[in-house]
Amino acid sequence: MTVIALVMILDFFIGDSTALDWINDTAVITRSWGIVISAFAMGLGAINLLRRHSRSIVRRDDNAFYSFLLVASMLVMIVLGVASGTESPGYDFMFSNILSPASSTMYASIAFYIVTAAYRSFSARNLEGWLLLITAVIVMLGKAPIGSVISDFFPVASNWIESVPNTAGMRAIMMGAALGVISSAVKMFLGLDKSYLGQR
Residues in the site for other proteins, rule: CB under 8 A? 12, 24, 27-28, 31-32, 34-35, 37-39, 41-42, 85-87, 92, 95-96, 99-100, 103-104, 106-108, 111-112, 114-116, 118-126, 129, 132-133, 136-137, 140-141, 143-149, 155, 159, 162-163, 166-167, 170-171, 174
**Pick 126 or 199: Cβ nearer other proteins:** 126
Chain centre distance of CA 156: 31
Rounded to a whole number of angstroms, the minimum distance from the CB of residue 163 to other proteins is 6
Residues 6+ apart with CB under 8 A from 71: 50, 53, 54, 57
**Pick 68 or 143: Cβ nearer other proteins:** 143
**Pick 58 or 164: Cβ nearer other proteins:** 164
Rounded to a whole number of angstroms, the minimum distance from the CB of residue 199 to other proteins is 24
Distances (CA, A) of 189 to 6, 61, 186, 198: 9, 46, 5, 15
Rounded to a whole number of angstroms, the minimum distance from the CB of residue 186 to other proteins is 19
| Torsion angle defined by CA atoms of residues 104, 106, 112 and 118, in that order, rounded to the nearest 10 degrees | -110
**Pick 58 or 86: Cβ nearer other proteins:** 86
SS3 55: helix
Rounded to a whole number of angstroms, the minimum distance from the CB of residue 112 to other proteins is 6
Angle between helix axes 127-142 and 153-161 (nearest 10 degrees) is: 120
**Pick 6 or 136: Cβ nearer other proteins:** 136
Distances (CA, A) of 37 to 27, 44, 83, 153: 15, 10, 24, 51
Rounded to a whole number of angstroms, the minimum distance from the CB of residue 39 to other proteins is 5
Phi and psi for 199 in degrees, rounded to 5? -100, 150
